[in-house]
Amino acid sequence: MDYGLTETQRMIRQTIREYLTRVIEPLVPDMEAGKLLPYGPTREMMGVLGLIDSNGELATLIAESPPEEQLKRFVPRVLGVEMGRVCGGMSLAYGTTTALAAPAIRRKGSLDQKKRWADPLSRLEKIGSWCLTEPQAGSAALRDMKTLAIHHNGHYVLNGSKTFITNAPFADIFVVYAKLRQNGAESVEAFIVERQDSGISTGPPMKKMGFRSSPTGEVFLDDCRIPEDRILTSEYRDRDHVRKSLAGERVGLQTVSYGLMERAFEIALKYARDRKQGGRPIGDYQLIQRRLARMYAALVNSRSFVFGDVIGKSILAATPGNASLGKLYVAEMASYVTTEAIHILGGNGYMEEYIVERLARDAKLIELGGGTTEIQETTIGRWLVQEYEL
């Protein structure tokens, strides 16, 4: 589908889509079954597509018009969409390393920390994990956080556990959030923990409903001792660092949601044209047409959130409130569209062969991850009451 893209943008999208379809899609069954980890194929993809430049930053593929800054925003969006179409789990494994763990270090770390840890994550030389959620502190991650850090004899000592952590079973570098008690005060800080540090361990990959290509697990910190230079507190003290990371995650999840629903819609539309009942394509029946019409409306409306600011037609400002708004709407529409696709395909929609059952299973997670639907509603409501300008 063409949604007002320039020739350069269309070329980039087509290049990424052709590669994912030709090289990655045949690997998806093995990744979904846990026989193949997503990291090798993802590294190969980044190298073949030229997604990383010499500085470890996301490259633009084609350094021509539209303006470079706009293109830098477009490439990760379209990459998320295209990976969502082919393998949503792969997109989570990739995004957690390059769009959560690495940016968290870049946002709050020193120059040395960025060079030592963020750069290898951006280049996927190392696998990253972003550790916020805890067993008893899901939606209230900051308020009810139990993981504690204390400063002791030139080290920080961390104790606690994290759960539902993407890449945890295989990560090399962990960005861990903990409550630091120091000098009579308490604050939530981020720490860099490496796999080989004493006191850190991880559980096996969890068995999940969807996104099975993305390893998810627990992280355990038992008197985990790390050097003083592992705390992410540069001279720039950003008290909203967790909020900004979550906003970035929510924008990224929109792209994956859109990819899921776009693929499901295309499969359903083709099926409605090809499948015959009573001597006619089922797409000739009004009930099927009504389903397709509403699916298409959801798809078109979702584009303004996913691509609006990279095709010059955005009506939304880049705020945490709008990040939550986009995540809320696109995630819900992805669940709706993928479920409708199953209905249109009927019994075939329930079979793995036609893919839509996997797309529906994947879509459901995005209503939960990165903040549940209820958390998005609360965030949007608070933003409207306190900050929105009439």
DSSP 263-284: HHHHHHHHHHHH-EETTEEGGG
CB-CB contact of 356 with 364 (8 Å): no
Percentage of residues in the chain with pLDDT exceeding 70? 88
264: CB partners within 8 A, 6+ apart = 295, 337, 338, 340, 341, 356, 359, 360
Q: Where exactly are the structural domains of the chain?
A: 7-122, 128-230, 241-386
Confidence of residue 307 (pLDDT cuts 50, 70, 90): confident
235: annotated active-site residue = no
pLDDT at 226: 97
Using CA atoms, how far apart are residues 52 and 190, in angstroms rounded to an integer?
A: 26
Q: Residue 44 pLDDT more than 80? A: yes
pLDDT at 54: 47
Note the residue count of the chain: 390
CATH topology of domain 128-230: Butyryl-CoA Dehydrogenase, subunit A; domain 2 (2.40.110)
Confidence of residue 314 (pLDDT cuts 50, 70, 90): very low
pLDDT at 161: 97
pLDDT at 358: 97
* φ and ψ of 203, to 5 deg: -85, 175
pLDDT in tens, 195-246: 999 999 999 999 999 999 999 999 999 999 999 999 997 544 445 667 777 7
pLDDT in tens, 336-370: 999 999 999 999 999 999 999 999 999 999 999 88
Q: Residue 104 pLDDT more than 50? A: yes
Average pLDDT over residues 292-317: 77
Confidence of residue 330 (pLDDT cuts 50, 70, 90): very high
Q: How far is CA 65 from CA 61, 88, 177, 310, in A?
A: 11, 29, 40, 12
Using CA atoms, how far apart are residues 91 and 211, in angstroms rounded to an integer?
A: 9
Q: Residue 7 pLDDT more than 90? A: no
Structure tokens at 176: 């861990």
Q: Is 7-122 assigned to CATH 1.10.540.10?
A: yes
CA 168-170-172 angle, to 5 degrees, is 90
Question: What is the distance, to the nearest Å, from the Cα of residue 175 to the centroid of all Cα atoms in its chain?
Answer: 16
Question: What is the distance, to the nearest Å, from the Cα of residue 212 to the centroid of all Cα atoms in its chain?
Answer: 14
Structure tokens at 263: 């693929």
pLDDT at 240: 65
Q: How far is CA 28 from CA 55, 266, 340, in A?
A: 30, 19, 23
Q: Residue 320 pLDDT more than 80? A: no
What top-level class would CATH report for the domain 241-386? mainly alpha
Confidence of residue 12 (pLDDT cuts 50, 70, 90): confident
Say what the pTM is.
Answer: 0.88
Q: Counting Cβ atoms within 10 Å, is residue 99 exposed (0-12), middle (13-18) or buried (19+)?
A: buried
The catalytically annotated residue of 249, 332, 357, 367 is: 249
